[in-house]
Amino acid sequence: MRNDAPLIGVLAMQGAFAEHKRALEASGARTRLVKNREDLEGLEGLVLPGGESTTMTMLMERVGLLEPLRDAITGGLPTLATCAGMIVLAREVTDGMHGQKGMGLLDVAVRRNGYGRQVDSFEAELEVAGLGGKSFPGVFIRSPLVESTGSAEVVATHEGRAVALRQGNILALCFHPELTSDRRLHQDLVKRASER
């Protein structure tokens, strides 16, 4: 790995962090698993993976990571949020656990597991603005459903619903790019981190 490769953190509270780590390394990044506030130091990019959003949030609160993470993202750290990561960043969460709130950093309202349970998982070819070339293989597993958007820009839809959004330094996805061999969305994060 090149020493000048950007250092990208992957939140490792719970969920699909190992798959993101592999995808980022295959895309030319150095990686660090983020488990506490000290792990945020020196990062040039960040991934909030899929998993269980309430568990992730509770664990971040328990180890004192929630506010430092919010500060890092608000401060401009290039961020890729997938599935549960999108829920964690959302301004509004429906069908969550009692009292569940997003961080309010992504101007969307989402419904947890809005596409159904595990047995309702599916794949769909998606046209993602800015990727160019062929469509992207979207893997939807217990994915959040975007119910409304505010200032977040929709960059991909499926059956008329937003499934990928950009807002400032954040790219948020309802689907799981780490479960495919297509690295373009991870490469996008590596590029944004390199330009920081």
In 3-state terms, the chain is what percent helix, strand and coil (to 5)?
Answer: 30, 30, 40
* Choice among 19, 20, 52, 83 that is catalytic: 83
153 is catalytic: no
- pLDDT tens readout for residues 133-163: 799 999 998 889 999 999 999 999 999 999 9
174 is catalytic: no
Give the residue extent of every domain in the chain: 7-194
CATH number (3.40.50.880, 3.40.50.970, 3.40.50.300, 3.30.70.260) of 7-194 reads 3.40.50.880
From 61, 59, 56, select the one nearest 96 (Cα to Cα): 56
Which pTM does this prediction carry?
0.93
Range of weakest confidence among 117-126, 168-177, 183-192:
117-126
* Choice among 20, 158, 176, 186 that is catalytic: 176
* Choice among 19, 44, 52, 178 that is catalytic: 178
Secondary element (H or E) of residue 170? strand 170-173
19 is catalytic: no
